[in-house]
Structure formats: C-alpha cells, structure tokens
C-alpha cells in the first residue's frame, strides 16, 4: 500500500528519509488515552540481529523477516537492481552464508537449514524479477512477454532492461511461484491470483487464455504503511480532511472508500483505520491481505480459492458471516465486490457500527449504484427501494479517491450520505479537490471545504470529539 499516493520522486525520497528518522508520527486528532494501553507499535522493541538478541526476545519468523529486509537492501546496495538472475543468485547465497557463519542467531540446526532454504527460495523464486522486487521504488511489475517487462515507479510506467529467455522461462517462474505458495497453475487452471510471503499480490496467466504467452502482474505493498500525516505531506489529502475522517472513526461512523483500480483505496483505508482505539478488536476481511494496521488486537481473515478438486472455497461472504461470531468491535472489509455487500449492510445496521470498506467505482454516486447491484448478487429477492434504504441507513461517509494523470493519488471528494429523496440517495459534498491547472506534468489544485457542515457534527461533539467549525468554512 505504500506504493500508493506518490507525488514526485524527490518528494517521496525526502518523505521516506523523514519517516526513517522518526520512530512514529504524532496523531492528527488527539483523544484521551487509558493507563492500560500498551505502548504504540512504533515504540515496541525491534530486535537488531547484528548485535545479537536473547532467544526469548525473537522467534524464527521475526529473524527471517529482518534478514529478508536486510537481504533486499544488500542486493540494492550492490547495484544489482538491473543484474541478471545468476548475479543475484550468487549475491543471495553469499549473504546467507555470511549471516549463518558470522552472526550468533538464536536458532537450532534445523531452523538454520530452513532459513537458508527459505531465504534463497523466496528471493530467487521470481527469477529475473528478483532485482525489481528489491527496488523499494517499484510499486508494480508487469510482464507481457520475454522482452516486455515494465514497472511503475512514482506513478509512472517505464520499460526495464530485465529479460526472460523465452515464454517457457516465464512459465517456469510462474509455476515456481505457484508451488512456492502451495497453489496450482497449468493448462487446466491457467490463472493464478495469490499473495506472496512478503505481502505482494501476484496475478499470472498462461495460454490459451493469454494469447501471446504467459503474463505476470505483481502489485507490491510496503512493510511500512503510510500514515495520515504522510498523505497530507505528499499532497494526497489535507489535514482538515484527515482530521474529519479520524473524528468519524472515533465517532463510529461507517465509511466507504471508492475509487478506480490503483487509485489508493487500500492505502487510504489503512490511514483512516489508524484512528481506531488500540483496545478495540478489529477483524479484517480481504481477498488478498493488504492492510497493515498498527493496533494490537487485529485478526486478519483472507478468502481461499477452491482446491484442485473444486472444494474448500471460502468466500468473503463466508468470512463476514463468521466474523460476526468473533466478537468484533470493528469490521473492515478490504473490498466489497459481491454478495457479501448484503451481509455487510446488515451488520452495519444491527449494531456493528464503525465499519469500513472499499469499492471500485468512478464516483461516489456510482459507488452507491454498484453497492446496490452487489446486494442483488447475494441471491436474495429484495426490492430496489428496500436496498437503497439499507444503504442509506448503513453508510455515513463516502470518500472518493482518484489517480490523476500526473500519477498522484488524491482524495477527490468527501461526501455525507444523508437520506433518500423519493428513490434517490442524497449526497452532500463536504470537501472537494479543486483543480486549477497544471505545472509541467503536475496537476495543481487545492483541497477545499464546500461550506456544508455534516449532520453528525453535533453527535461527534456530544461524544467528546471536538471538530472545529472552521474546517468546514468555505474560503473564497
């Protein structure tokens, strides 16, 4: 998700440097803390394996995760981002040997052998793409053919000098990825959609469905998510907007984030969710786990495709129904795209308020139409009027995000859903991004209030959440 909401290359590098120097970011909206709250995630002890740590302080997965991060950095430091597979393989093997021989890792012999195997396999499993996976600036990797490999950096697509030998080479890498994550891809099942161990999302296709040969599409997600203040600093939102959204979260308003593919919905959802109190139990439901949350009490659920025999499928609707039995304080549906829309609306209307989700849509009003269509996909015969009444009752805020032509993901509007007028849902826009022109490739504009005060403003104040009226004042 950190691949979203990029402004410019120089600005992003400056931002990353500031983030690295700071152990945490201050909250935009302050609230009273309880004495029993655990320390924030940013202040918790992180082991430094170079200096050695007590066995009780770390486990195998902690060690592996830190070494994987160091390994990718080592590949980048050695200028191997454009190197061939053989050079990267040699660098990986040398790194693993040096770590196991020189560092006092609290691992037994079996764990050391496992670490050697998994670090090597997980870094080299992508073949020629390994150097691209090591580049933190790369957000998407797109393989269209042996000599047609593209990446997205800072919101811009560009060709690379990475090459596969032929279509068979691409197919072997695809099959290796599938085996690596315990999945299958072949002529009988020529599509793969899964999550890599580092959290990246991979989609692959084989002939005959991809006519010109095998394809690979990888959407990368950083290990450190962007916070609300980062979005404001990168020009993706204003502090007034993020303050309002944080207040809505604290006031248990239900929020729907809409936008197109790659618009930054999941990144914004993660930034909004940071306002959820640490003591609350959060259940997340996703097709491919992408959300990175800092809270202590998070249960992540992920859908599962059917096995080779067509059995064992677990849908988002199954997980949503099950989550209601898990005593959730908050339910976050990473993306609503089918019949689970009905169950989500029913949950939000029956006491499970403070929920959040995203939806693919071109505008806030389009989001409502799509949500209505998805409810019908649940197979329950409901009149259109009843569905719209459910939607209006369940949702409070729709935040629409858009990726502009300069590559920057911005919040385009924040709207309140206030009711029905006849059969038409009523939306009133609270904030909007006003575009005024272009400067070179960059879109120039400002985030502005429309002058409308949301109807739930007084309710937030009654809950002790103070939102200054000034943020809603329209500036001429």
Counting residues of the chain whose pLDDT is more than 70, the rounded percentage is 84
The residues near 23 (Cβ < 8 Å, ≥ 6 apart) are 42, 43
pLDDT value at position 466? 86
pLDDT value at position 101? 85
**pLDDT tops 80 at residue 427:** yes
**pLDDT tops 50 at residue 83:** yes
Q: What is the mean pLDDT of residues 292-315?
A: 87
pLDDT value at position 63? 81
**pLDDT tops 50 at residue 241:** yes
Burial of 238 from C-beta contacts in 10 A (0-12 / 13-18 / 19+): buried
Tokens of 40: 């924030």
**In whole angstroms, what is the distance from residue 403 CA to residue 397 CA?**
20
pLDDT value at position 40? 38
Q: What is the pLDDT of residues 106-134, one digit of tens each?
A: 788 888 888 777 777 666 677 788 778 87
Residue 56: pLDDT band with limits 50, 70, 90: very low
Q: What is the mean pLDDT of residues 200-205?
A: 91
pLDDT value at position 80? 66
Collapsing DSSP states into helix, strand and coil, what is residue 153?
strand
Residue 32: pLDDT band with limits 50, 70, 90: very low
**pLDDT tops 80 at residue 97:** yes
**pLDDT tops 60 at residue 270:** yes
Q: What is the mean pLDDT of residues 311-324?
A: 92
User: Which has the minimum average pLDDT: 222-226, 246-250, 424-428?
Assistant: 222-226
204 touches 217 (CB < 8 A): yes
How would you list the strands of the sheet with 201-205, edge to edge?
156-159, 148-153, 138-145, 215-219, 201-205, 191-195
Q: Among residues 307, 295, 297, 336, which one has the least CA distance to residue 319?
A: 336
Q: What is the mean pLDDT of residues 268-285?
A: 95
Architecture of the structural domain at 228-472: 3-Layer(aba) Sandwich (3.40)
Residue with tokens 């580092």: 198
Residue with tokens 């197979």: 379
pLDDT value at position 198? 75
**pLDDT tops 90 at residue 213:** yes
pLDDT value at position 253? 96
Cis peptide before 208 (omega within 30 of 0): yes
Q: Among residues 22, 6, 3, which one has the least CA distance to residue 231?
A: 6
Q: What is the pLDDT of residues 130-173, one digit of tens each?
A: 778 878 788 899 999 999 999 988 778 899 988 888 898 899 88
Give the class (CATH, top level) of 43-219: alpha beta
Residue with tokens 């029913």: 346
Residue 222: pLDDT band with limits 50, 70, 90: low
pLDDT value at position 307? 75
**In whole angstroms, what is the distance from residue 203 CA to residue 195 CA?**
9
**In whole angstroms, what is the distance from residue 27 CA to residue 30 CA?**
6
Collapsing DSSP states into helix, strand and coil, what is residue 225?
coil
DSSP letter for each residue of 402-449: EE-TTS-EEEEEEEEEEEEETTEEEEEEEEEEEEEEEETTEEEEEEEE
Q: How many helices (H) and strands (E) does the chain have?
A: 14, 15
pLDDT value at position 12? 41
Q: What is the mean pLDDT of the chain?
A: 82
Helix, strand, coil percentages, rounded to 5, for the chain: 35, 20, 45
Residue 58: pLDDT band with limits 50, 70, 90: low
**In whole angstroms, what is the distance from residue 189 CA to residue 191 CA?**
6
pLDDT value at position 92? 79
Q: What is the mean pLDDT of residues 339-343?
A: 94
Question: What is the distance in angstroms between the CA of the first residue and the CA of the last residue of the chain?
Answer: 35
How would you list the strands of the sheet with 255-259, edge to edge?
298-302, 282-286, 330-333, 356-360, 255-259, 397-403, 409-421, 424-439, 442-449
Residue of higher predicted confidence among 6 and 105: 105
User: Which has the minimum average pLDDT: 9-13, 214-218, 388-392, 422-426?
Assistant: 9-13
Domain segments of the chain: what residues?
43-219, 228-472
Residue 50: pLDDT band with limits 50, 70, 90: very low
Residue of higher predicted confidence among 129 and 180: 129
**pLDDT tops 60 at residue 3:** no
User: Which has the minimum average pLDDT: 179-193, 270-284, 435-449?
Assistant: 179-193
65 touches 79 (CB < 8 A): no
Pairing relationship of beta strands 215-219 and 138-145 according to DSSP bridges = antiparallel
pLDDT value at position 131? 78
Q: Cα dihedral sign for 405, 409, 414, 415?
A: positive
Whole-Å CA distances, 416 to 253, 427, 429: 10, 6, 6
Residue 231: pLDDT band with limits 50, 70, 90: very high
**pLDDT tops 80 at residue 359:** yes
User: Which has the minimum average pLDDT: 80-84, 197-201, 238-242?
Assistant: 80-84
Q: What is the mean pLDDT of residues 39-54?
A: 36
DSSP letter for each residue of 186-218: SSSS-EEEEE-TTS-EEEEE-TTTSTTS-EEEE
Collapsing DSSP states into helix, strand and coil, what is residue 46?
coil
pLDDT value at position 68? 74
Residue 61: pLDDT band with limits 50, 70, 90: confident
């Amino acid at each position: 998700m950190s691949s979203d909401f990029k402004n410019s290359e120089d600005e992003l590098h400056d931002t990353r440097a500031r983030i690295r120097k700071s152990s945490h970011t201050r909250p935009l909206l302050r609230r009273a803390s309880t004495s029993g709250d655990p320390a924030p995630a940013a202040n918790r002890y992180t082991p430094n394996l170079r200096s050695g740590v007590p066995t009780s302080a770390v486990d195998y997965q902690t060690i592996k995760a830190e070494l994987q991060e160091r390994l990718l950095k080592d590949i980048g430091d050695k200028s191997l981002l454009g190197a061939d597979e053989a050079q990267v393989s040699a660098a990986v093997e040398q790194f693993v040997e040096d770590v196991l021989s020189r560092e006092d890792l609290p691992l037994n012999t079996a764990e050391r052998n496992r670490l050697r195997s998994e670090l090597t396999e997980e870094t080299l499993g992508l073949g020629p793409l390994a150097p691209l996976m090591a580049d933190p600036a790369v957000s998407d990797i797109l393989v269209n053919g042996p000599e047609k490999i593209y990446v997205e950096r800072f919101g811009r697509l560009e060709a690379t000098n990475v090459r596969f030998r032929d279509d068979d080479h691409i197919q072997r890498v695809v099959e290796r990825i599938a085996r690596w994550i315990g999945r299958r891809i072949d002529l009988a099942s020529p599509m793969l959609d899964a999550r890599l161990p580092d959290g990246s999302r991979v989609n692959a296709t084989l002939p005959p469905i991809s006519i010109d040969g095998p394809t690979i599409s990888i959407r990368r997600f950083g290990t450190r998510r962007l916070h609300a203040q980062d979005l404001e600093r990168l020009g993706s939102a204003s502090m007034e907007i993020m303050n309002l959204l944080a207040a809505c979260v604290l006031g248990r308003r239900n929020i729907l984030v809409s936008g197109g593919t790659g618009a930054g919905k999941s990144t914004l959802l993660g930034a909004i969710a940071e306002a959820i109190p640490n003591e609350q139990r959060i259940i997340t439901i996703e097709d491919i786990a992408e959300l990175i949350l800092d809270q202590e009490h998070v249960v992540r659920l992920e859908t599962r495709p059917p096995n080779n025999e067509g059995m064992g499928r677990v849908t988002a609707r199954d997980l949503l129904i099950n989550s209601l039995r898990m005593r959730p304080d908050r339910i976050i549906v990473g993306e609503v795209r089918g019949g689970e829309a009905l169950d989500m609306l029913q949950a939000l209307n029956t006491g499970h308020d403070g929920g959040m989700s995203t939806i693919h849509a071109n505008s806030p009003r389009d989001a409502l139409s799509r949500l209505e269509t998805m409810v019908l996909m649940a197979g329950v015969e409901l009149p259109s009027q009843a569905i719209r009444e459910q939607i209006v009752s369940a949702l409070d805020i729709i935040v629409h995000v858009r990726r502009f032509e300069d590559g920057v993901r911005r919040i385009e509007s924040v709207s309140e859903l206030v009711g029905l007028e006849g059969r038409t849902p009523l939306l009133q826009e609270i904030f909007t991004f006003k575009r005024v022109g272009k400067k070179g490739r960059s879109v120039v504009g400002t985030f502005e209030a429309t002058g409308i005060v949301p109807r739930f403003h007084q309710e937030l104040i009654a809950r002790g959440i103070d939102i200054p009226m000034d943020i809603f004042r329209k500036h001429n």
